[in-house]
Amino acid sequence: MSIFRTIAMFVYLFGYMIVHYGVLRRAERALAAGDMDTVEQIINKHIPHWSRGILKVTGARLVVEGQENIPKDGPCVFVGNHRSYYDIPLLLASLDKPHGILAKEELEKIPLLNRWMKLLGCVFVQRDDLRASVRALNDATAIVESGKSFVIFPEGTRYKGEEGGAGEFKAGAFRIAVKTGAPVVPVAISGARGLFEAHGNRATPGSIHIRILPPIRTAGMSKAEQKQLPEAVRQTILAQL
């Protein structure tokens, strides 16, 4: 059955974007005209619907806790642990609404998906190019400064160790929050890798838990607190996995 679920996932993933190509073009025209209300309406309707559909066809059951911890009075930087390809659609489906994500450059090469991600405000990063990485972080900082929340996976790549672990949280991602004074909202994701990568990249039914944790204020942080922030957030997430 897992092979059929996997095929169904890819058929749905691209089929949705093909069927709704006209919607994509309407959103792109609205973006070009500066009509951000229309862009936001389309994004807020279609991207969570697409993301939940991926979970549904693969038999993944999503349990979300802590949505009340998302700040209502301004943008924040969501910081999550990263173990699975599922993580991006998971956060697009489980936060208050879909937000831009700092994503690896390979995703920018996938037809249709790259256009939806650009509409969403995703920033693509070349992980092996320091200057390009700095530019990407500056672009993400500008998005938060404009009043929009943003999603970061500070490990920079998927963690392939045992369930309950996480890789090093790199400091660069946290500079976005510190520079803008936006709070950091830790997000603990557990169970995703066990439904795909652990089965040889075959979709398997099961439960995924998302825990949105209380925000951490960055405004007024001392230099010492800023330095400790990545590891402090990592330990906060580890305690929930």
CA distance 113 to 240: 31
Contact 42, 27 (CB under 8 A): yes
Written as six digits, the tokens of 155 are 């490990």
At 164 the pLDDT is 85
At 1 the pLDDT is 73
Single out the residue of 141, 161, 160 nearest to residue 149, CA to CA.
Answer: 141
At 172 the pLDDT is 83
At 126 the pLDDT is 85
At 121 the pLDDT is 95
The residue with tokens 């972080």 is: 137
CA distance 147 to 142: 9
Sheet containing strand 206-212, edge to edge, reads 60-65, 206-212, 184-190, 77-80, 150-152, 100-104, 123-125
At 133 the pLDDT is 87
Strand, coil or helix: 210: strand
Query: Sign of the C-alpha dihedral, residues 164, 167, 170, 173?
Result: negative
φ and ψ of 63, to 5 deg: -115, 120
Fold type of domain 60-238:
Glycerol-3-phosphate (1)-acyltransferase (3.40.1130)
CA distance 20 to 239: 40
At 2 the pLDDT is 84
At 41 the pLDDT is 97
Contact 140, 204 (CB under 8 A): no
How would you write the pLDDT of the chain (241 residues) with one tens digit per residue?
Answer: 789 999 999 999 999 999 999 999 999 999 999 999 999 999 999 999 999 999 999 999 999 999 999 999 999 999 999 999 999 999 999 999 999 999 989 999 999 999 999 999 999 998 778 888 889 999 999 999 999 999 999 998 898 888 889 999 999 889 999 999 999 999 999 999 998 998 899 999 999 999 999 999 999 999 999 999 999 999 999 999 9
Burial label, 90 (beta-carbon count in 10 A; 0-12, 13-18, 19+):
buried
At 173 the pLDDT is 80
